[in-house]
Amino acid sequence: MLAQSDCGTKQSLSSNRFGVLGFGVLRRAQINFKYRSELESRLFCSDVIFQDLSQSCFVSCVIDLLQLLFTALDPEVREEYIADLVCSVYYDNFANAVTSLAPRVQMFSKNEFVREFERNILHGFIAGLNYHTQEYEDGLVIREEKENCTNSSYTYTQYRDSVLSMVRDILQFKLNTKATIL
């Protein structure tokens, strides 16, 4: 089933089984991560605060997670932990929240969730591609405005590396899920 979300994009919601109030358009600047110590920074987040949820909409939780993974997470963190984030952290916390808030609601299984994630993984790639393209284009504008500006602008090399990183992570996730689900 296709449903028009409040975000203005069509999303596959598999009979609304995966529907949640999602973040909508999410950028790194809208997320604050908290760490217990300096040693844990970037890899072991203890808390997250999302700012400016004005773009929130009804969307598949899978699409929402994909947008988060491919637009707001550092590539190194995504590469290292994508399977854990999808299969354990997100799903387990989501299932616990649903169970505590609405114990009678029958929720999708972890296998169904992982399959839905894999089926829609290109949505994450497209969201990430849009994000990184915008960052690169913004960097071009900054360089044009300041002729000798070399710092704080997104270079072509960074753009290329980000896109290649997303492709690598998608292929690795698909290979891992094929090996574990089959």
pLDDT tens column, 39-92: 665 566 667 666 766 767 677 889 889 988 998 888 898 998 898 889 888 899
Range of the domain at 177: 2-181
Angle (CA) 176 19 24, round 5°: 85
Contact predicate 66/124, CB 8 Å: yes
Q: Enumerate long-range contacts of 82-91, CB under 8 Å, 24 or more apart.
A: 82/169, 82/172, 82/173, 83/173, 83/176, 86/113, 86/114, 86/117, 86/173, 87/114, 90/65
- Per-residue pLDDT at 2 exceeds 70: no
3-state class (DSSP) for residue 98: helix
Number of domains in the chain: 1
pTM: 0.70
Name the strand (E) or helix (H) holding 82.
helix 75-84
